[in-house]
Amino acid sequence: MFSSWLKVTDKCEICGLDYRFASPDDGPAFFSLCVVAFALLFVIVWLQVAIGLPIGLLFIIAIPLMAVGCILPLRPIKGWLVASQFVNKAIEAGTEQLWTDMHDREDEAGNGRLDP
């Protein structure tokens, strides 16, 4: 599904599904920040309150923890969002005609459709 860290390929190499519909935009970053960063913030605050680390050491621990903790889940979250787009047939508002035209063209060419 991915051609690089967060770049979605054009087509699935197994079933030929056209991934042009995939546009999770900033969804992965949003969910990573709201879910992971929020939880990690509690861990970092707990570290400070429970142990009382010097502020410099706290930053040395907290900054990499937040960075890695927010970057690592981006790929699985993006995969989940693209899968959700496919399952729920989510398209951008106002592009219904464009999608219909695109799918009609795909059918004429004999390529895969978005319908499961």
The binder of Zn ion chosen from 4, 14, 54, 110 (CB under 5 A) = 14
103 closest CA partner among 93, 114, 94, 92:
114
Per CB under 5 A, does 82 bind Zn ion?
Answer: no
15 versus 51: smaller Cβ distance to Zn ion: 15
The binder of Zn ion chosen from 2, 3, 12, 64 (CB under 5 A) = 12
Rounded to the nearest 10°, the torsion over CA 90, 91, 97, 102 is: -90
Per CB under 5 A, does 55 bind Zn ion?
Answer: no
Site for Zn ion in 17-36 (CB under 5 A): 17
Query: Rounded distance, CA 90 to CA 38, Å?
Result: 27
